[in-house]
Amino acid sequence: MKINNNCARKILKEVEKIEFGEKLPVEKLHEKLKEYSIEDVLNIVTILYKENYLIIIDKLPYDDNDVLKDHRIKGLTDKGYKTLDLIRDDEIWNKMKEKLPNFDEISIFTIFDIANKIKNIEINNLFDLPKDLFIKNNRW
């Protein structure tokens, strides 16, 4: 199943809103993202969980099965927060959608890499650094 990049971004943004000590069942997350199917949400949450972007409880560590509707999301991992920081800005997100004609076909992880490069260029330009001193930022 193909990942909907817009849905993945919205999931990260919704998960960030979870208050400390609270948990969000995947089914409730889907209610907040009604424009996407439950299958899309479950697929993306499963992938983000397996790639260590989300913390999910009520899931056994040795269980390789997909995330279920009643599993509860506790929050973002450090990797999840760092990644969301790259794609949170609507300007950067919309710039990528505009410049990449195949945006919907590109893997969300490639989108994360591109956003990282854009952010690095912005930081280098902000401090007027020579191009050969580009910041190398390996977040993942």
Going from N- to C-terminal start, the domains of the chain cover 5-76, 86-133
Question: Among 26, 3, 1, 2, which residue's Cα sits nearest to residue 15?
Answer: 26
pLDDT in tens, 18-46: 999 999 999 999 999 999 999 999 999 99
The CATH number corresponding to 5-76 among 1.10.10.10, 3.30.1060.10, 3.90.1150.10, 1.10.10.60 equals 1.10.10.10
pLDDT in tens, 48-105: 999 999 999 876 555 556 778 889 999 999 999 999 999 999 999 999 999 999 999 9
For the entire predicted model, the pTM comes to 0.84
Question: Among 95, 93, 83, 63, which residue's Cα sits nearest to residue 15?
Answer: 83
CA distance 27 to 48: 16
**Three-state DSSP state, 39:** helix
